[in-house]
Amino acid sequence: MSLFNKPKRKIQARRKMSDEETEDDNVATIGDIKELQRSRGKKNGLTEIECALGKQKAAHLLDGIQIAGGSMAMTEKQKARLEAADIEAGIREQFEKETLLRDEHEELRKYIDNGLAKLKGEDLNSQDDDSNQGDDVLARAASKLKSYRSETATELLSEHMLAGIPEVDLGINARITNILETEKKKKELIEYQLTGKRPAQDPPTKKPRR
């Protein structure tokens, strides 16, 4: 019987040795993990963003921004803040436009009131003007406005007529002649401004018929 018990003792000794080796491996693995965590931990110093912008601006920039996987992603807080800023900027811009428009309307109303007061002959210092004089002023203003409208209509009509006339090719000879005549007239005007005497006019020549 003693012969059969000895091998069992050896097997138990081997199991103890294997258990101790496993514990040593686990301790080494835990030590490696702790060392890796310490190497990944935040060290004292400044980040790239803090070096570029400063600590305060970097903290304000990174507020509400998540950094994961080497990329930056905005959180819901930052998105809501940006949307609120856009809405506030839009409201401010619309308010400024309406304020400017209201000021323009007010200035236009004052200008119209002053113009009507001048046309009616009303003076802030004297309120006892004759009504007939005001009617005369209005009549003169109406006639001036009518003449101005007629002149404007005539100018617009002439512009439309000129725009509707097709361009005719006069040829190279006619263009050269026009250029020479223009330069001659310029020279005559310069001489007249310098001397005060008009140059002698050349007798009119008949143009050859084509």
The reported pLDDT for the residue numbered 176 is 84
> Which residues share a beta bridge with 65?
74
Backbone angles phi, psi at 124, to 5 degrees: -65, -30
Residue 8 has pLDDT above 60, yes or no: no
Q: How confident is the model at residue 195 (pLDDT cuts 50, 70, 90)?
A: confident
Two tokens at 103? 């000021």
> Which residues share a beta bridge with 210?
none
The reported pLDDT for the residue numbered 122 is 55
The reported pLDDT for the residue numbered 179 is 87
pLDDT tens digits, residue range 131-147?
A: 556 666 667 776 766 66
pLDDT tens digits, residue range 89-141?
A: 888 887 777 777 777 677 777 777 777 777 776 554 555 555 556 666 667 77
| Residue showing tokens 């040795």 | 17
The reported pLDDT for the residue numbered 154 is 55
CA-to-CA distance for 180 and 191, rounded, in angstroms? 17
- Is residue 47 within 8 A of residue 58, CB to CB? The reply is yes
Two tokens at 176? 């050269």
CA-to-CA distance for 186 and 194, rounded, in angstroms? 12
Q: How confident is the model at residue 175 (pLDDT cuts 50, 70, 90)?
A: confident
pLDDT tens digits, residue range 27-79?
A: 667 778 877 777 766 556 666 666 666 676 666 655 555 454 445 555 666 66
Question: What integer is the mean pLDDT of 8-21?
Answer: 58
Two tokens at 161? 């007529």
CA-to-CA distance for 120 and 114, rounded, in angstroms? 10
Q: How confident is the model at residue 1 (pLDDT cuts 50, 70, 90)?
A: very low
- Is residue 188 within 8 A of residue 200, CB to CB? The reply is no
CA-to-CA distance for 83 and 136, rounded, in angstroms? 62
Question: What integer is the mean pLDDT of 157-164?
Answer: 53
Q: Nearest-5° angle of CA 126, CA 132, CA 135?
A: 100
The reported pLDDT for the residue numbered 132 is 59
The reported pLDDT for the residue numbered 119 is 73
- Is residue 192 within 8 A of residue 198, CB to CB? The reply is yes
> Domain-by-domain residue ranges, the chain?
1-42
